Amino acid sequence: MKQRIYFLGIGGTLMGSLAQLAKELGHTVSGSDQALYPPMSDQLVAAEIDVFEGFDPAQLDPAPDLVVIGNAGLPRGHDAVEYVLESGLPYTSGAQWLGEGVLRDRWVLAVAGTHGKTTTASMLAWILDAAGLETGYLIGGAPLNFPQSARLGQSPFFVVEADEYDTSYFDRRSKFVHYRPRTLIVNNLEFDHADIFDDLGAIQRQFHNLLRTVPGNGLVLTPSNDDAINEVLGMGCWTGVARVGSGPVKKPIAEDTGELWDAGNPAPDGGSFDVLLNGESQGRIDWSLLGRHNQLNALNAIAAARHAGVPVAESIAALSTFQGVKRRLEVLFESSTFTLYDDFAHHPTAIRSTLEGLRKSVGNDEIIAIIEPRTHTMSLGALRHDLSTCSAAADRVFWFRGENIKWDLSEVVQDSVIPAKMFDRHETLVDALVKEAQQERAKKCHAVIMSNGAFGGIYKTLVERLG
């Protein structure tokens, strides 16, 4: 039955993607958010979905059949939430709507973990698409091989980025418990989301709940040597487990299938490598992505696609044409002496992996890391002790102190293992980067902006001034 559905928080990557799926299902779709910006705002316009900045009760007149409520900035006390409750409107969470309205009766391939979810899910969707399976997918970013971040697809398969963040103000479980995957990738597991989780153990319990939803004839892909994930597996697993990464497996369990995937004979920058299954080469990938972390992402995607019936050789061929994801070392500007990148890395481990991959690619060129610790975890200072070393592969680091930072960022600057500066105004940071770009230098300079937000619009400003 077709419905009128209103998405509250439609500008977020999950909610905006859900709105596109609802539109594709034939529902009448609209929604609002406090702020809307690319790439999601562009996708919503292209999908001809009515969107509003700011909430006005008039947007819900006539009353929709269902309100889908996001979890970003929508607590009790929010005007829109209170209006929905007081008006008695039917409502649900985004993750529950996805699970019940889209994923039911599909073969769900879910990608979970602290890092690499968006890139791995994009790789997996591209492999299945290249194999002619026309998979459905929902990805929390903008994959460059596809025109939008979500589609229904025509096959039984559906690839979903499975986030451990809580579902909504009225459902504190992780989103991924609603997805019920048959094929599950768990890339890695570290402490994050300090605003909702007290410690790593609290996150591990949510991943244990996720494992409880995977059927016995499914497949779970995990690293061979991740202690946090091995502890989760030790809580109970009822599904065959294949491993990814350098062996041997630290803590084997009864459900281990004996499959071990790894990368062999890698190029120094990770731009090519052999795909190994139990030590035997299945073929070689040659692509534009950098770093060991992307090799592991690829191996997970290949193994998951194999579980869905795609031969490894076809997966390797598909990944050789994989273009990546927006905001993953995306080049914004380039001259003969200066390259400016946009990267989504916002956790110390992701920052370190990205910079190490770039270092291996550019050799002795200069690298400047520009980091905005914007997430709840970073703003609360939960990982502050890791920040002084995570940019070690760069030559210099510029830290930006936003208004959300609740601790003294100058501590990181003082303890940094490389020369560091702190900025607290966007204009001053832009001026400094423009000055860097205009300097005459013997070696090329690579400046990597790392943030998971709009960063005060400095991307557009920098490109305009540098251009």
Q: Where do the structural domains in the chain lie, given as residue ranges?
A: 4-93, 105-319, 330-466
Q: Which helix (H) or strand (E) holds 83?
A: helix 79-87
Looking at residue 380, what is its pLDDT? 58
Model's pTM, two decimal places?
0.84
pLDDT, mean of residues 419-427? 88
Q: What percent of the chain is modeled with pLDDT above 70?
A: 96
pLDDT exceeds cutoff 90 at 422: no
pLDDT, mean of residues 136-162? 92
Q: What are 219's two structure tokens?
A: 């497949």
Helical spans, DSSP H, in 383-424: 384-387, 410-415
In whole angstroms, how far apart are CA 427 and each of 223, 434, 446? 43, 11, 20
Q: What is the CATH number of domain 330-466?
A: 3.90.190.20
| Residue 359 burial (C-beta neighbours within 10 Å; 0-12, 13-18, 19+) | buried
Looking at residue 2, what is its pLDDT? 92
The SS3 assignment for 159 reads: strand
Q: Cβ–Cβ contacts within 10 Å for residue 284, how many?
A: 14
Strands 183-186 and 107-112: parallel
* Fold match between domain 4-93 and domain 330-466: no
pLDDT exceeds cutoff 60 at 381: no
- What digits encode the pLDDT tens for the residues 66-118? 999 998 889 999 999 999 999 999 999 999 999 999 999 999 999 999 888 99
Q: Residue 406: which residues within 8 A CB-CB, separation 6 or more? A: 379, 380, 381
- What digits encode the pLDDT tens for the residues 250-291? 888 999 999 999 999 998 877 899 999 999 999 999 998 888
| Most confident option among 105-109, 364-368, 382-386, 409-413 | 105-109
pLDDT, mean of residues 224-235? 94
pLDDT, mean of residues 407-416? 79
Q: Which helix (H) or strand (E) holds 21?
A: helix 13-24
CATH topology of domain 105-319: UDP-N-acetylmuramoyl-L-alanine:D-glutamate ligase (3.40.1190)
pLDDT exceeds cutoff 80 at 382: no
Higher pLDDT, 383 or 456: 456
Q: Which helix (H) or strand (E) holds 334?
A: strand 330-334
The SS3 assignment for 237 reads: coil
pLDDT exceeds cutoff 60 at 57: yes
CATH topology of domain 4-93: Rossmann fold (3.40.50)
75: preceding bond cis by omega (within 30 degrees): no
pLDDT exceeds cutoff 80 at 325: no
Average pLDDT, rounded, for the chain: 90
Looking at residue 451, what is its pLDDT? 86
Burial readout 178-190 (b: 16 or more C-beta within 10 A, e: otherwise): bbbbbbbbbbbbb
pLDDT, mean of residues 320-332? 83
Q: What gap in Å lies between CA 59 and CA 18, rounded to an integer?
A: 19
CB 112 within 8 A of CB 186: yes
pLDDT band at 128 (very low <50, low <70, confident <90, very high): very high
Least confident of 162-176, 226-240, 317-331, 401-415: 401-415
Looking at residue 13, what is its pLDDT? 86
CB 159 within 8 A of CB 111: yes
